[in-house]
Amino acid sequence: MPKIIIDGKEIEFKPGQTVIQAARENGIEIPHFCWHPSLSVSGNCRLCLVEIEKMPKLVISCSTTATEGMVVQTQSEKVIAARNAVMEFILINHPLDCPICDEAGECKLQDYTYQHSVGESRFTEEKNHKEKRIELGPNVMFDGERCISCSRCIRFCDEIVGEKELTFIKRGDRVTITTFPGKKLENPYSMNVTDICPVGALTNRDFRFKSRVWEMAPTKTICSGCARGCNIDLWTRNNEVLRITPRQNEDVNSFWMCDNGRLNTFKHVNANDRVSGPHLRKEGQLIKCGWDEAYAKTLSELKSFAKDEIAALASSSLTVEDTYLVSKFVRSTLNMKNFDFVRKVVAGSGDAILIREDKATNAKGFELMGVEPGKSASGGGLKFDEIISHIESGRIKALILIEEDLIGWNPAFEKILSKLDFLVTISTNFDASTSFANVVFPASTYAEKNGTWINFQGRIQRIRPAVTTIEMERSLDGMSQSRWDKFGTDFDSWGKAKKNDARPTWKIISGLASAFGTKYKFTMAEEIFNEIAHTNPLFTGLDYDVVGENGVQLKTETVKKKVTI
């Protein structure tokens, strides 16, 4: 590979790379505003100026192609002086509103001002004033005074989304950004501009003024919006999720995520309709009860029905670990034939960027794990459509519904569920389906448990708990201060934070199995995953550490034999 010398260090680079790309891949940071790895080069901020041997003037590293033997200086006197001048120019009209700016704490201009500026300005006149609090679209707010005209947002809309919605107007120090006449910034990915904006000019309207970034703790996990499985950070404070931001993974979602995933996949975690504790229906009302009472009621009722009068339907967004234990329980412990997973495909809702028509996070996982619908240990059974038909005709009288709101998905199922004699739901929130339930078990959301999902590409990825439940709290006694700091708050405020009495679905199923006389010796999700890895050749050699933060692509083509759970 060709080599280049940067600040006296000889490094290799790939042909065609620019200087800033070669430096970045080798851990050398060249400050920049307008350049972004996934966008075209605009070269208008001039902060990435470097000195190259045998070139008469400083050049911008974002558009200068690296060549064999090139000698680059990023810290010479000329470079530092030019960088200081660029920073002074950018800051001349920038408002001093860091105390009220949502970007404070993760602002590149703020960071670079401390690292690369002289710390004072020779400009004593009144700063230029521009429009503030402009609603560019339903999800993004614009503050013209903070904008440094890097054009990242414009290039994102043009190049990534393919929607020409933003543009520059006016010239000189009056330049600003606006939408084209008759248009709004309302493409399905519009909120990504708030992530790539290097200052606080573009802000998330849903998150504005809710918290300072240093008051929150990020947790690396996966979006639950569709089968893509975008990598995200869940930001929490006082045991409450406040926002979601995309996390870079070039094999899945690059730097991006859709607005629906960002806005609508975490509100239920904090909602007031969370199921906190088991509930039994008494005199027509769901009344909170103890876990043992709920297990006993479920056991006695299910035993009163014949095997072919019972069915189970589970969400296709269960984790791999939940799926494994649910399937094992239904087919082995209950020896039930009528068992299937609910598919959620919205025709026409996908696109060529990230959004998938399949809204389930683990549908591919069921296929790869060998979970065959309508099949039990004793032979064939009914699939989803047949189960619904048999409930409607009265041949199926009891249903176990796992993390799925059938009525919310299709209102036509209301009439069907009302015909059941006994309905058990494992639910995160009270919903239309739980209104017909006789027993409701409280399930942890994806933000409250460990586990894995397999996306439509066959890539297995980890979810991690960002919010703590009462069940988790019991295992956190004696935790060190450094571990508690993960929750983004101190002991007192965390102790007063609202916590739900919910459990992961696999743990609820384990308790049900115990009531039926089957003992599962799993104490954590990782132990279930390890058993899967020892029984299914697709998972051979995998554990949570191997899956890591970016996931692992399963080599499905090398495994010919399927293992049926």
Structure tokens at 34: 């307008």
CA distance 277 to 364: 31
Could you give all domains of the chain from N- to C-terminal order, each with its CATH number? 3-91 (3.10.20.740), 100-107+125-270 (3.30.70.20), 279-473+503-558 (3.40.50.740)
- Annotate 435-502 with DSSP letters as a single string: GG-SEEEEBPPGGGS-EEEE-TTSEEEEE---S--HHHHHTTTT--HHHHGGGTS-HHHHHHS-----
- Annotate 16-27 with DSSP letters as a single string: T-BHHHHHHHTT
Structure tokens at 56: 């008469």
* 398: enclosing H helix or E strand: strand 398-402
Q: What residue ranges in 276-315 does DSSP mark as E strands? A: 279-282, 285-288, 310-315
Q: What one-letter code names the amino acid at 278?
A: P
Contact 402, 314 (CB under 8 A): yes
Rg (CA), the chain: 28
pLDDT tens digits for the chain (565 residues)? 899 999 999 999 999 999 999 999 999 999 999 999 999 999 999 999 999 999 999 999 999 999 999 999 999 999 999 999 999 999 999 998 999 999 999 999 999 999 998 878 888 888 989 999 999 999 999 999 999 999 999 999 999 999 999 999 999 889 999 999 999 999 999 999 999 999 999 999 999 999 999 999 999 999 999 999 999 999 999 999 999 999 999 999 999 999 999 999 999 999 999 999 999 999 999 999 999 999 999 999 999 999 999 999 999 999 999 999 999 999 889 988 899 999 889 999 999 999 999 999 999 998 888 776 666 544 567 889 999 999 999 999 999 999 999 999 899 999 999 999 999 999 999 999 999 999 999 999 999 999 999 999 999 999 999 999 987 776 655 555 555 454 444 444 555 567 889 999 999 999 999 999 999 999 999 999 999 999 999 999 999 999 999 999 998 765 444 555 5
Specify the pairing of strand 279-282 against strand 375-376: unpaired
- Annotate 73-141 with DSSP letters as a single string: ESSSHHHHHHHHHHHHHHHSS----GGG-TTTTS-HHHHHHHHHS-S--S--SPPP----SEE-SSSEE
Q: What angle do CA 405, 411, 416 make, to 5 degrees?
A: 85
Residue that has been written with the tokens 């339930």 in this structure: 437
